[in-house]
Amino acid sequence: MSKPLPRRKAASRRKRIVLFASGAALGSALGILVGSALTFWLGEGTVRAVQRGIRRISGDDSRPNFDLLLQ
């Protein structure tokens, strides 16, 4: 059987978990706010064009790859 953690270590572990969760929540909220502001500033058409370019570069485009059809 494992022996129980001393109260000080348990409190320290809980504090780390709470800090991690708080940081994750704050980071997510800031990411949504910054992304929304950037989309508003650049315009929806520009953001869609950038997303389409990223999809083409990564190879995740919904269009057929004609180079493969010529083989």
Dihedrals φ, ψ of 27, to 5°? -65, -40
Phi-psi region of 5 (alpha: psi -120 to 50; beta: other; left: phi over 0): beta
What are the pLDDT digits (tens) for 12-70? 888 999 999 999 999 999 999 998 998 888 888 888 888 888 888 887 666 666 777 77
Report if pTM > 0.85. no
Instruction: Assign 42 to helix, strand or coil.
Output: helix
